[in-house]
Structures are given as C-alpha cells and as structure tokens.
Structure 1
C-alpha cells in the first residue's frame, strides 16, 4: 500500500520567485540618513577641534590672569558637555514640534535679548549685547538667531500659497524682523544685526518669494548700515581702516594686522600646536573672533583647509535636505539654518584674512564663548531632526514599495 504526500496549499497567492517574507521592525530600526550622519560627525569634529584650539589660545591669558592654564578651556568645555547631548536630544523631536513652539521661542528670545538693557547687561567693545549671570557671560542674540530661523520657516510655510502677494510677504515678516534686528542694533552690534538680516533674506529666497520683493528690505538695510556706521566713530574707524592701506597700526589696524601676521607665520604646516606667538598678548580676541588666525599660525594652511572642508561637508549635508524634501517648512528652515551657520563662518574667516572689515562675529563651533557654541549645537540638532524626516531613497524596490515611498514624500 503506497502513501502519497499531497503538497500543502498556501493560504495566500503564490508569487513568482518564491514567497517573500517581510518583517517590519518599525522606525527605530530604519537606516540613519546620510545627512544625519554627516551633520552629526562634522559638528562633533568641529566642536572637538575648537576645544583644542580654545585650550591653546586661552592658556597663556589664563596663566597671566593668575589662574591655571586650563581655566578658559574648562569654561568652554562646560558648554560642550551641555550642548552636545542637547543636540542629540533635539534631533529626536518630530518636525511638528518646532512648528508648534516657533512663536513661543521667538518671544522668549526677544525677552532674553531685552535683558541687555537691564542692570544685568553690560557693554564691551562698544556693543551692549551681553548679560552677566552668576559669573558667566551670555549673548542672548545667539539664541535669538535660532528662534528667528524657526519662526520664519513657520510663517513662510503657512503662507506658502500666498507669497506672490507682497502684503502677505510684508505682514508679519517685515515688522517682526525689524523688531528682532532692531533689538540687536539698539545695542550697537552691527555684525550680529547683519547676520540676522542675512537670515531673513535667505528665508525669503528659499521660500520662493519673487526677487523684486527684496528691493525694499535691501534699501532699508543699506540705510541702517550707513546710519549706524556714521553714528559710531569706533565703527566708522574700522570701516575706513579696511579701505585705507595706510591706516594707523596702533589703533584701527592693530588687530587685523596681527591676524594677517599670524596666518603668514603659519605657512603651510604651521608652527605646531600650542606654539603661537600672537596669542602672547599681541592678538586681541585670539580665542574669540580671531581664533581662525591661531589655527593658521599653529596648524598652517593644512589646518585651515581642514576647517573649511568640515564646513563644506556640513553645508553639503544640509543642502541635501533642501534638495530631497517636499516640505516647505523643512526646506526653508534647513536652508536658512545653513546660511546662518556656514555664512557666519565664511564672514568670520573673511574678516581674519582681510576680505571684510572687522565685524565682531564668532566662528561657529570653534570660537570661545558658550552662548554661540550652544546655539549652533542646538541649531544642528534641529537640522538633524529635519534629516530624520526625509523619505528613504529608492534603490531597486518594487512598484508597490515605490508608490508608498512617493506617497510618504508627498
């Protein structure tokens, strides 16, 4: 007696090439976007690089003030310890969270900026844009930049179908922008005011606003810059010294001249880490606005090139977000955040190499100053969150999966 085994019948339809088994592991196990990895890695490399350079640039000054060689670096390190974890925490927030808190963040940023006009505020270098709390100094305008970027993204996202009408572009962007920029210019900080104005122009440009609508803001900015320059003898002197090759070395040209000398002494390979001569009291703001000069002096052209490459990779990752997203809010915030951080870096470097007059803006990630570092790390956390919102890249997947990906992107 023979027994025959009948084949099992499948409960579902048979597919060509065998049964395809699929296990969904959820969003936690999805591949990390390349943009996220590049942003995180370049930010961490630049922050670590900056910590080393701040240690080198501040050690002599700290000893001269009667402290230890690590005092300046320790203060800077406190903000790294706070900022880096916050960057990764912020990267886990959904995009919708930033839309909800944009107005609140801007109001808090403005309220913080107003503290510079209270007894907590103090003036340095002719600018009153600092406050001192519990022995720590703080520049509220740095947080205002971050809040301003997100707020502009929300407003332009909500008005995305109305931006051909100049009235919708004007209200509320121009009045609120004038308040934000004016609160900084009231403290005579022209450099930060120009960065805020650049942020506004970048947001309008990447939202698709017609170029003819930029005429009025540009004219207003030119009038404001000329007025502020004429009203301040110190600022006017710096601008004129930039245009005058025979300026007074002991006055307006002192800092810029020593910055150029630092770069020249470094040559291609540099004098070696820690071997800067200019930091011995010759170069003012060696650890702050002119830290790029110390990089060039100690690590040479190679060290400067590494910094530029890192900022280039940072911009590449951020603009990949702009190119891949279909969300107006994500596009505007990612592009504007990049223009702020990378644009400010280029302006700072341009000041050091003599392309621009002295403006007093820090080099993101590298300059000593906890407020600037913390704001830039938080801004990078927002960019990393936007990167996580991108749809996965299609790589040879089936038509059904392709359709789902396109739907998610929309």
Structure 2
C-alpha cells in the first residue's frame, strides 16, 4: 500500500489578503492488486464458516458457564480457551488458503502424515490420557490435544497427493494397495486402538468420500465400505458398554439413571425449547443435568435456548456449507483438488449428521462433536485449516480460469488499453465505428 500526500493552498486574491490562508492535506491510497479475481464461492464459504464459528463461541459460553463456575473456575474459562483456538485457527486458515496447491499436495503432505503418526503413537505413552473410556488425547499440561483430529486434515492432503501420483495405477488394486491403503489403514488402526468409535467412523467416511469424489472405481469403494462397516461392528461387539447402548437403542429398554441419562435429558432439553426456545442463557439442562453439554450435546442446548427455529437454522447452515463445497468441487478440474474438497465435504457433513442424529435419537450415542460449534481446540483449529485447504483449491481454480481467459484474449488479438480513458475510447470505437467520408462514399458508389 502506498500513501502519497500533497499540500494544497488557496490561491491569493485581493479579497483574501486580509483573511488567513487555509491549507489541507490530500491523501491518495493505492491498494495492493492481485491477478486472481474474487470468487463468489470462496466468499460464501468464509461467510458461512464465520457464522458457525461466531455462533459456536456464543453457545460454548452459554453451555459451559454453569459447570465451570460450579467447579471453582471462571464461568468464561472454556469460552476464553475456545476463543484463543479460534484466534489461532483463523490465521492458520488464511495462511493455508494462500499456499500454492502444489505445496499442499507435495512434501507438506508427507510431513503432515509423519506428524500424525508420531502424535498417535504418543497417545499410548505416559503423555496419553483416557477420557470416557477412550484413549485418544495427549496431555501437554497447558492443554490437551486429540491427534485423530489432525489425522483428518493430514489424510485430505495425503490422499490428494497419492491419487495424483498414482494416476492410472488406481485402475488396478494390486498397484495401489501398498502405497495407498496400507498408510491409511495404519492411521485408522491407531485410532481404533484408542477405542474412539465415533472418530474412526468419521475417518472412514472421509477416506471413502475423498476417493469417491476423486474418481476411484465403485467396486473398490464398495469393498472398502464393507471393511469399514465390519470394523465398526467389531469395535461395537468387543465393548460391553457399546453393546448395551446399541441394544437399549433398538429395544427401547433403557435404564434412566444409567445408559439413558444423557439421551433422556437431551430429549428433555429439546422438548422444553419448543418452537422458539427459552432464550439465550436460560437453559436448565446445562445445570449439571446434561453431560457434555458444551461438546457432544451442544445441539440439545441450542434446541432448548433457540427452539426448533434455532435448530433448523443450524441444520440449514450446514446444508448451505455442503452446497458451497459441492459447487467448488464441480468447478475443480484437478484430481487432487477434487479429492481435497470431497474429503472435507464428507468430513464436515457426515460428522454434523452423526452428531445431530445422536441428539435427536436417530443414532445411539457415539461421542462425535459438532463441527465449528462444539468446544474443543483441536477440532476447531483443524476444521478451520480444512477450510483453508478448500479455499486454496478455489483460488487455484480461479487462477486457471483467469489464465484461460487471458489465453483467449491473446488468440483473438484483442488488447485493451490499461488506462480508463483509452479503454472508453476503445470501447466507443468498437460500438460506434467511424463513418466514411463523403469522397470515400462517392468512390465506393462509382
């Protein structure tokens, strides 16, 4: 940005000799220019994400304030922590969005996958902690980190790189089973060892969705889906708690003070909200009645405080988010970009669906947070970083379209002047060509 200033003074006239001379400063601001045109889809994506993150911060404050105060901490402690991660995540998103796509699917993808491997292995060391029966967190003292959230982001980048490099070898499963399937199986397997079924389901949906949107053959995806479903059933069978939850879900025979405490109070919260809700901050379920009110069950608090209208608005925002991601995917020509956008779409929409379905009783409790809204620093930072990946793809699409438009102009030989006055004259010459002189017309008639 360049700022120039010049000092101007009023010319001296006989009438103004006896008055004081006035002077002012004029500033001319030159904004930075870019060769990439603005993208409507990118703007809409940023707007929807900003709405979700902002509303999520409000709901984290509302749903966690009571229990934080009851625990002897500041009522805004969880909110401030979530706000800090949002302040970290937004610059990360913007930085990633400005990176060239070839960097994101190059060496950075290998680095991301290696870091995820290391973090997931550290979960099974003394740094790892177990919460609610799942060993999926690392405790660094000042904060906890969930490596599986970073695995989602790393898989989007790594799958895009591998699909691009393998190319036609994806037609034969024997040629991609080792370079593609084995690393994915290791990442998902480490999450399985942590017994976090909800996260494993999201990882599986992300991988299958990314490969489907990337153009992998349907028969291979069918086999992968069967393996994923079989693995989920196996994980449910080996856990007595999950077996009890699933059995009570299908039979309806549930212990109110045991397995059904959370689901029952989630229903109570939604029922109390009615159509318009009881108002922001007036929820009673968050007064230590509803476990994980600020995390897995934050949608129940939204339904209680904002009613059916508020819950429908949240669902609508996720639907709009999905439509925008599909629009960007349709405009993407590179296979790597299609894998990234397809993976992020599958991640966000599937996870939001599972979370909301659990709260309203369509699925048994799985422990999956609501993207952008639930409290959790790792989840918020990684989802914002994933949005940055999509923005980088959209920026690459816009750059390609700009290059094609420039090539078409060069082929037609049309060169437009740079300054506005010359451009107007050129446009006038095109729309109003000069008339021939009278002598020219006479010669033409002769």
TM-score bucket of the superposed structures, by smaller chain: 0.7 to 0.9
How do 1:189-228 and structure 2 match up within 5 A? 189-228=196-235
Partner residue, 1:11: none
The structure 1 residue matched to 2:323, chosen from 316, 338, 347, is 316
CA apart distance, 1:402: 9.4
The yes-or-no answer on 1:32 pairing with 2:38 is yes
The yes-or-no answer on 1:89 pairing with 2:95 is yes
Write the distance in 2 (CA, Å) between the matches of 1:378 and 1:222. Answer: 28
The yes-or-no answer on 1:304 pairing with 2:311 is yes
Q: CA deviation digits over 1:239-290, x for unaligned, max 9?
A: 1121121211111111111111111111111000000010011100000000
- Per the alignment, in what secondary structure is the counterpart of residue 117 of structure 1? coil
The yes-or-no answer on 1:364 pairing with 2:388 is no
- List alignment gaps of at least 5 residues for structure 1: 1-24, 405-410
CA apart distance, 1:166: 1.8
Write the distance in 1 (CA, Å) between the matches of 2:101 and 2:221. Answer: 28
Q: Which moved more, 1:67-76 or 1:211-220?
A: 211-220
Write the distance in 1 (CA, Å) between the matches of 2:204 and 2:101. Answer: 25
- Per the alignment, in what secondary structure is the counterpart of residue 179 of structure 1? helix
CA apart distance, 1:399: 9.2
Write the distance in 2 (CA, Å) between the matches of 1:402 and 1:170. Answer: 45
- Per the alignment, in what secondary structure is the counterpart of residue 389 of structure 1? helix
Q: Which moved more, 1:50-59 or 1:126-135?
A: 126-135
Write the distance in 2 (CA, Å) between the matches of 1:107 and 1:98. Answer: 14
CA apart distance, 1:86: 1.4
Write the distance in 1 (CA, Å) between the matches of 2:248 and 2:362. Answer: 12
- Per the alignment, in what secondary structure is the counterpart of residue 36 of structure 1? helix
Write the distance in 1 (CA, Å) between the matches of 2:253 and 2:411. Answer: 67
Write the distance in 1 (CA, Å) between the matches of 2:306 and 2:127. Answer: 39
Write the distance in 1 (CA, Å) between the matches of 2:372 and 2:410. Answer: 39
Write the distance in 2 (CA, Å) between the matches of 1:266 and 1:402. Answer: 62
Write the distance in 1 (CA, Å) between the matches of 2:251 and 2:52. Answer: 35
Q: CA deviation digits over 1:290-340, x for unaligned, max 9?
A: 001100100111111221222122212211111011111001111111110
Write the distance in 1 (CA, Å) between the matches of 2:58 and 2:226. Answer: 42
Write the distance in 1 (CA, Å) between the matches of 2:224 and 2:217. Answer: 13
Partner residue, 1:186: 193
Specify which structure has the bigger relative contact order, considering alpha-carbon pairs within 8 angstroms and separated by 6 or more residues. 1
The structure 1 residue matched to 2:61, chosen from 55, 77, 85, is 55
- Per the alignment, in what secondary structure is the counterpart of residue 105 of structure 2? helix
The yes-or-no answer on 1:129 pairing with 2:140 is no
Write the distance in 2 (CA, Å) between the matches of 1:403 and 1:326. Answer: 22
Write the distance in 2 (CA, Å) between the matches of 1:160 and 1:403. Answer: 32
In the alignment of these two chains, the number of paired residues is 378
Partner residue, 2:183: 176
Write the distance in 2 (CA, Å) between the matches of 1:403 and 1:316. Answer: 35
The yes-or-no answer on 1:401 pairing with 2:381 is no
Write the distance in 2 (CA, Å) between the matches of 1:271 and 1:403. Answer: 64
Q: Is the 8 A contact 1:271 1:297 kept in 2?
A: yes
Write the distance in 2 (CA, Å) between the matches of 1:402 and 1:128. Answer: 60
Write the distance in 2 (CA, Å) between the matches of 1:224 and 1:314. Answer: 30
Q: Is the 8 A contact 1:262 1:296 kept in 2?
A: yes
Q: CA RMSD in A?
A: 2.0
Structure with max Cα Rg: 2
Q: Is the 8 A contact 2:332 2:393 kept in 1?
A: no
Write the distance in 2 (CA, Å) between the matches of 1:39 and 1:135. Answer: 32
Deviating runs (4+, > 3 A) in structure 1? 391-394, 401-404
- List alignment gaps of at least 5 residues for structure 2: 1-30, 413-446
The yes-or-no answer on 1:279 pairing with 2:286 is yes
Q: Which moved more, 1:28-37 or 1:263-272?
A: 28-37
Write the distance in 2 (CA, Å) between the matches of 1:185 and 1:103. Answer: 22
Q: Is the 8 A contact 1:160 1:328 kept in 2?
A: no
Write the distance in 2 (CA, Å) between the matches of 1:403 and 1:36. Answer: 30
The yes-or-no answer on 1:245 pairing with 2:237 is no
CA apart distance, 1:27: 6.8
- Per the alignment, in what secondary structure is the counterpart of residue 391 of structure 1? helix
How do 1:103-118 and structure 2 match up within 5 A? 103-118=110-125
CA apart distance, 1:214: 2.6
Partner residue, 1:10: none
Q: Is the 8 A contact 1:292 1:304 kept in 2?
A: yes
The yes-or-no answer on 1:289 pairing with 2:296 is yes
- Per the alignment, in what secondary structure is the counterpart of residue 318 of structure 1? helix
Q: Which moved more, 1:340-349 or 1:47-56?
A: 340-349
The structure 1 residue matched to 2:396, chosen from 389, 394, 401, is 389
Write the distance in 2 (CA, Å) between the matches of 1:86 and 1:207. Answer: 25
Partner residue, 2:236: 229
